[in-house]
Amino acid sequence: MALTKSEKNTIIKKWQLNEKDTASPEVQIALLTEEINLLTKHLIKNKKDVHSLTGLRKKVGKRTDLLRYLKSRDEERYNKIVKELNIRK
């Protein structure tokens, strides 16, 4: 259910700002979005999995905070990531 190391590396390579970047808001938002998508698929099959639902809500909240931070700092980067990841505003 979790992302594999190669999947994480692929996402990081796509969204990093420079070659040593692993913690920019874009990278964190992209990783959280992928984890949210996986958890959503899991919860469709397992409706009574309350612990996974709690984890999903925490990840969505963290992503929302990161998106709010990015929007306040650089709205152009915010618009780009929201458009490419199909995140609802």
For 36, half-sphere exposure in the C-beta direction (CA atoms, 13 angstrom radius) is 17
In a domain, 31, yes or no: yes
In a domain, 36, yes or no: yes
In a domain, 41, yes or no: yes
CA separation for the pair 33, 63 (Å, rounded):
8
Q: Kind and range of the H or E element at 49?
A: none
Domain count, the chain: 1
CA separation for the pair 39, 31 (Å, rounded):
12
Residues 14-41: tens digit of each pLDDT? 999 999 998 999 999 999 999 999 999 9
In a domain, 17, yes or no: no
Residues 71-82: tens digit of each pLDDT? 999 999 999 999
Backbone phi, then psi, for 19, in 5-degree steps? -70, -20
The residue segments making up the domain with residue 76 are 26-85
* CB distance 74 to 87 below 8 Å: no
Q: What CATH number is attached to the domain comprising 45? A: 1.10.287.10
In a domain, 20, yes or no: no
